[in-house]
C-alpha cells in the first residue's frame, strides 16, 4: 500500500524510490482502492457543484502519484460519467502524474486497452477522453496556470521530497528519536506547503482538490499501527535481525529509513487556519477534513478463512510493494543485484514466517486524512 | 533508424512492435537527429508566422512517435526559445506521444533531469514549460479539439496501423510482389488519411504540422537503397540464410515482414491535391513538400577512418534498433526468450560479418519527404 512510493526527487542526492512495475502494485493494493472509492464520493460532489468550462477547453482532471492507474480507474470512470451527465459534449482530460521511474507503459496499456468480447475498452479510448502522463514530481507545478478543474491524490503525499536523514535503530519516523522526528516533521510541513502552492497555480478558480493522505489520527493511530502489532516496529526488528545474523552491515542497517512522514489532521489543516499563510493567500480554502480508518482487507479475509500461512502470503506482498525499494537501495551496490535481491527476499520471508507462525494482531489498516480543498 | 517503430496497434491481431528502450534508440540514431534538426527550420518558420494564444492557454507543441525524446530534444529547446522570444510569459506545453510500450521513463528522465555542475537541466524543468506523455497511437486523436499549435513528427509514420499480411520471400514491402505491395500501399494510404484527420481535429486554426517521413523519392531511392547495396534485400537474404541453415523454420521465415510502407511525395500530397477529399474538407493545406537524402552518418565516418570492422560494429546496431522486434516476434514463442534472442543475435552477426568483410556500398542513407501542413 501507499499508492505511489514515488516521492519527488528534489535534491541531487535524493534517494531512489520506485514501485514494482507491471501491475504488481495495483493487484496487491486492494485496500488502497477502497480508500479511493470513498474519496470518489467527495470528488463526485465537487463536480456536481462546479462551473463547467464553456470556452471549449476540456474539463481537466489530474491524479497525483497515480502509479499504474489501476486503483483509481473505477473512480475515473465515475468522474468522467459525472461530467458527461452534465455536459455530454465536454472533452475531459485525465493527467496521471508520478515520478519518471513510474511504469507509464503499464498505465497507458491499462487506459488504452482495446475492448472486445466481454472486455471493456480502456477509459482513454472513450470519445472525447484524452489521457496524459506526466513524469513530474508533485512537488513542482505540473499543469499550466489555471487549467485544472479537479485534482485528486490518494496515499501518495506521505513521501517526502528528500530524506531528512537516517533514523537510529528504526526504519520509519514513527519510531524515531525526538530530534530525528522533528527533522522529518519539518520536511513534511515544508513539502505540504510546496505541494499546495503548486496546485494553487494549476487550479481554475472554483476548482477543487480531493485528497486522501496517510495521517496520524485522533487516537494516535497510523498506517501499520491501529492497536495491534506495530508494522513499522516489525520492519525495524527484522531489518535489525539481518544485521544481528551478519547478513547486512551496520552501514546498510543504518541506511534504511523510509522517506515518509504521517501528519496529523491538524498539521494538514494548519496552512488553511492561518489567513496570512502563503497557502491561504494563494486562494486555497479547506472545505472538509476528516480522518478514517480503512480495515486491512488481507486481515479481514483472514478473519473469514483462518489460514495463517495464506494470510501471510497475501499480506507481505502488499507491504513489500511500497517498502522494497527503500530496503534494496540501502544495500551496498557492490553486492550486485542478485545478492541484494536475495537479502531483501530473506527480509520479507522472515516477516512472512512471523505472521504465519503468529498471525494475531497483524494488520495494515489504512489511516487516512480526507480533505476537500477549493481554490477561490 | 526509423525514429519510432511504434506503429499504432489498431486491430486486435496487430503485431507487437517495440523499440529497444533506455536510450538505446537515440544514441544509435545520429542520422535521425540530423533530419529533425533540418525539420526544425521549418518549425521555427511556422512559429514565427503564427498567431500566438492570447487567452492564457499554453502554446501547445506535440511530437508524434517521439520514442525517448532524445533526437528531438535540441529542436524542442529551439522551438520553446522561439515562442519565448515572441512572448516571454507564454506557457508552453510539450506532448510526447508514442505507443504504450514506449519507454516513457527514459523520456521523462531526460526531460526532467536535474541540472548541476556543467550539466543543463531537463527542458521540462524550465519555468513555464509543461511536459506530458501520451501512450496513444497517432492513428487516434490524442489532443482535444483545437488545442494544438505545432505538431511535429519525424521518421515514424511509415509504420502501418496493422499488418497487410505476409510478404513471400522478402521482409519489406519494397521487395514484395505486386499484389502484396498493393495491399501495403492501400493500408498506408488509408492510414495517412486517418493520421491527417486526427491532426485536423487537434490543430487550432492557423496551426501547423511539420513532418519528415520516410518516402520513395524521385529517383526511386528509399531508406536503405540509394544506389549501393540494398539494405532491405540484405535483411531478406540473411533471414533466408537462417532458414537455409535450419536455424529457423519456414513458418518463422514467412512471419517476418516489417509493418511498413514508404510512400512517394505524390502519395503524401494526394489528399491535399483533391479539394473534395476529407483531408481538404477538414481544413488541411499542404504548404511545402520536398524530399531530401540525408547521408548515413556511419558510412560518412567510415569514409574518414577506413576501418571496416569498426564501421560494421557501429552500423548494425542502428539497423537493429528498429528491426529487432519484428524479427524477434517472428520466432516461435515456444523457443523461449533466450533462444529467440540468440537467433536474432546470429542474424545481426551475419549481417555485421558481411559488412566487415565487404563494406563497399553499405549505407543507410535516410530518404525523407518533408512537409509543412497548415490548418485553415
pLDDT in tens, A25-69: 444 567 778 899 889 999 999 999 999 998 889 999 999 999 999
- B124 close to A (CB below 8 A): yes
Q: What is the pLDDT of residues A58-106, one digit of tens each?
A: 999 999 999 999 989 999 999 999 999 999 999 999 999 999 999 999 9
Q: What is the pLDDT of residue A21?
A: 53
Cβ–Cβ gap B112/A58 under 8 Å = no
For strand B148-154 and strand A148-154, is the pairing parallel, antiparallel, or unpaired? Answer: unpaired
Q: For residues B100-104, give the mean pLDDT.
A: 95
Q: Residue A142: list chain B partners with CB under 8 A.
A: 130
Q: Are A205 and A145 in contact (CB under 8 A)?
A: no
CATH assignment of the domain containing A58: 3.40.50.150
- A144 close to B (CB below 8 A): yes
Q: Are B15 and B329 in contact (CB under 8 A)?
A: yes
CB-hemisphere CA count at 13 Å for A90?
23
- The answer for residues whose C-beta is within 8 angstroms of residue A45's C-beta and 6 or more apart is none
What is d(CA B56, CA B52) in angstroms, rounded to the nearest whole number?
Answer: 10
Grid cell in block for residue B64: 508524434
Reply yes or no on whether the pLDDT at A230 is more than 70.
Answer: yes
Q: Residue A55: list chain B partners with CB under 8 A.
A: 55
Query: Which chain B residue lies closest to A122 (C-alpha atoms)?
Result: B136
Cβ–Cβ gap B132/A133 under 8 Å = yes
What is d(CA B221, CA B296) in angstroms, rounded to the nearest whole number?
Answer: 14
What is d(CA A143, CA A122) in angstroms, rounded to the nearest whole number?
Answer: 23
Q: Are A70 and A25 in contact (CB under 8 A)?
A: yes
**B7 domain-assigned:** no
In chain A, where does DSSP find H-type helix? 24-27, 30-48, 73-86, 104-111, 178-202, 231-244, 250-255, 265-273, 278-281, 297-305, 308-330, 336-357
Q: For residues B307-335, give the mean pLDDT.
A: 95
Going by pLDDT thresholds of 50, 70 and 90, the confidence category of residue A9 is: very low
Grid cell in block for residue A72: 483509481
Cβ–Cβ gap A136/B131 under 8 Å = yes
**B90 domain-assigned:** yes
For strand A59-64 and strand A92-97, is the pairing parallel, antiparallel, or unpaired? Answer: parallel
**What part of B 53-72 touches A (C-beta under 8 Å)?**
55-58
Q: What is the pLDDT of residues A197-222, one digit of tens each?
A: 999 999 999 999 999 999 999 999 99
Minimal CA–CA distance to B105: which of A11, A135, A137, A131? Answer: A135
What is d(CA A55, CA A78) in angstroms, rounded to the nearest whole number?
Answer: 23
**B127 domain-assigned:** yes
**B252 domain-assigned:** no
Q: What is the pLDDT of residues A331-349, one digit of tens each?
A: 999 999 999 999 999 999 9
Query: Which chain B residue lies closest to A131 (C-alpha atoms)?
Result: B134
Q: What is the pLDDT of residue B59?
A: 98
Q: Are A294 and A365 in contact (CB under 8 A)?
A: yes
Grid cell in block for residue B372: 509543412
Query: Which of A105, A124, A147 is facing B101, going by the closest CB pair?
Result: A105
Grid cell in block for residue B317: 546496431
Reply yes or no on whether the pLDDT at B10 is more than 90.
Answer: no
**A184 domain-assigned:** yes
Q: What is the pLDDT of residue A131?
A: 98
Q: What is the domain range of residue B98? A: 24-218+259-295+365-375
**A356 domain-assigned:** no
Q: For residues B197-207, give the mean pLDDT.
A: 98
Cβ–Cβ gap B108/A104 under 8 Å = yes
- A96 close to B (CB below 8 A): no
Q: For residues A150-168, give the mean pLDDT.
A: 96
Q: Which residues sit opposite B210 in a β-bridge?
A: B152, B372
CA distance B102 to chain A (A): 7
SS3 content of chain A, % helix, strand, coil (to 5): 45, 20, 40
Query: Which chain B residue lies closest to A101 (C-alpha atoms)?
Result: B105
Per-residue buried b or exposed e for A170-197, using 16+ beta carbons within 10 Å of the residue's own CB: bbbbbbbeeebbebbbebbbebbebbbb
Q: What is the pLDDT of residue B210?
A: 98
Number of helical (H) and strand (E) elements in chain B, helices listed first: 12, 8
Q: Are A131 and A111 in contact (CB under 8 A)?
A: yes
Q: What is the pLDDT of residue A172?
A: 98
Q: Residue B141: list chain A partners with CB under 8 A.
A: 130
- The answer for residues whose C-beta is within 8 angstroms of residue B257's C-beta and 6 or more apart is B163, B165, B166, B167, B170, B171, B172, B173, B326
B1 versus A228: the higher-pLDDT residue is A228
- A116 close to B (CB below 8 A): yes
The label of the residue with cell 521555427 reads B44
Q: Are B139 and B187 in contact (CB under 8 A)?
A: no
In chain B, where does DSSP find H-type helix? 24-27, 30-48, 73-86, 104-111, 178-202, 231-244, 250-255, 265-273, 278-281, 297-305, 308-330, 336-357
Q: How many CB pairs under 8 A join A and B?
A: 106
Could you count the other beta carbons within 10 Å of the beta carbon of residue A263?
Answer: 22
Q: Are A213 and A368 in contact (CB under 8 A)?
A: yes
Q: What is the pLDDT of residue B29?
A: 63
Q: Residue B17: list chain A partners with CB under 8 A.
A: none
Q: Range with the lowest mean pLDDT among A106-120, A247-261, A331-345?
A: A106-120
Grid cell in block for residue A20: 514494482
Cβ–Cβ gap A101/B109 under 8 Å = yes
- The answer for residues whose C-beta is within 8 angstroms of residue B246's C-beta and 6 or more apart is none
Cβ–Cβ gap B108/A135 under 8 Å = yes
Grid cell in block for residue A190: 515544508
Query: Which chain B residue lies closest to A110 (C-alpha atoms)?
Result: B100
What is d(CA A350, CA B204) in angstroms, rounded to the nearest whole number?
Answer: 60
What is d(CA A242, CA B365) in angstroms, rounded to the nearest whole number?
Answer: 58
Query: Which of A58, A135, A136 is facing B105, going by the closest CB pair?
Result: A135
**A92 domain-assigned:** yes
Q: Are B128 and B91 in contact (CB under 8 A)?
A: yes
The structural domain count of chain A equals: 1
The label of the residue with cell 557501429 reads B314
Q: Which residues sit opposite B134 in a β-bridge?
A: B97
Cβ–Cβ gap A130/B107 under 8 Å = no
Q: What is the pLDDT of residue B155?
A: 92
Cβ–Cβ gap A136/B12 under 8 Å = no
Look up residue A219 and give its DSSP letter: T
Q: What is the pLDDT of residue A32?
A: 77
The ipTM, to two decimals, is: 0.87
- B165 close to A (CB below 8 A): no
Q: What angle do CA B21, A136, B119 make, to 5 degrees?
A: 75
CB-hemisphere CA count at 13 Å for B3?
32
**A237 domain-assigned:** no
Amino acid at each position: 500500500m501507499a499508492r505511489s512510493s514515488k516521492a519527488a526527487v528534489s535534491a541531487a542526492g535524493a534517494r531512489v524510490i520506485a514501485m514494482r512495475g507491471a501491475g504488481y502494485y495495483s493487484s496487491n493494493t486492494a485496500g488502497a482502492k477502497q480508500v479511493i472509492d470513498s474519496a470518489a464520493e467527495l470528488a463526485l460532489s465537487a463536480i456536481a457543484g462546479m462551473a463547467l468550462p464553456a470556452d471549449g477547453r476540456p474539463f481537466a482532471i489530474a491524479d497525483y502519484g497515480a502509479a499504474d492507474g489501476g486503483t483509481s480507474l473505477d473512480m475515473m470512470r465515475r468522474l468522467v460519467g459525472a461530467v458527461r451527465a452534465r455536459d455530454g459534449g465536454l472533452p475531459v482530460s485525465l493527467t496521471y502524474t508520478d515520478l519518471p521511474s513510474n511504469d507509464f507503459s503499464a498505465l497507458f496499456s491499462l487506459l488504452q486497452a482495446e475492448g472486445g468480447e466481454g472486455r471493456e475498452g480502456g477509459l482513454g479510448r472513450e470519445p472525447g477522453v484524452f489521457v496524459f502522463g506526466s513524469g513530474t514530481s508533485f512537488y513542482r507545478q505540473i499543469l499550466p496556470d489555471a487549467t485544472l478543474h479537479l485534482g485528486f491524490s490518494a496515499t501518495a503525499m506521505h513521501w517526502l521530497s528528500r530524506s531528512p536523514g537516517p533514523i537510529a535503530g528504526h526504519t520509519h519516523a514513527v519510531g524515531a528519536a525526538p530530534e530525528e522526528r522533528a527533522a522529518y516533521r519539518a520536511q513534511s510541513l515544508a513539502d505540504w506547503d510546496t505541494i499546495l502552492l503548486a496546485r494553487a497555480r494549476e487550479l481554475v478558480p472554483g476548482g477543487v482538490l480531493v485528497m486522501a493522505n496517510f495521517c496520524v489520527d485522533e487516537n494516535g493511530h497510523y498506517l501499520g499501527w491501529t492497536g495491534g502489532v506495530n508494522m513499522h516496529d516489525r520492519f525495524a526488528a527484522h531489518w535489525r535481525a539481518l544485521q544481528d545474523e551478519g547478513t547486512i552491515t551496520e552501514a546498510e542497517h543504518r541506511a534504511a529509513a523510509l522517506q515518509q512522514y504521517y501528519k496529523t489532521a491538524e498539521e494538514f489543516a494548519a496552512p488553511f487556519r492561518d489567513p496570512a499563510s502563503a497557502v491561504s493567500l494563494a486562494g486555497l480554502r479547506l472545505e472538509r477534513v476528516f480522518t478514517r480508518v480503512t480495515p486491512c482487507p488481507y486481515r479481514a479475509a483472514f478473519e473469514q478463512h483462518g489460514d495463517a500461512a495464506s494470510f501471510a502470503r497475501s499480506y507481505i506482498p502488499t507491504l513489500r510493494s511500497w517498502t522494497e525499494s527503500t530496503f534494496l537501495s540501502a544495500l551496498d551496490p557492490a553486492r550486485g543485484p542478485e545478492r541484494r535481491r536475495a537479502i531483501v527476499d530473506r527480509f520479507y520471508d522472515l516477516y512472512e514466517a512471523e505472521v504465519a507462525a503468529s498471525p494475531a494482531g497483524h494488520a495494515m489498516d489504512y489511516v487516512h486524512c480526507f480533505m476537500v480543498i477549493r481554490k477561490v
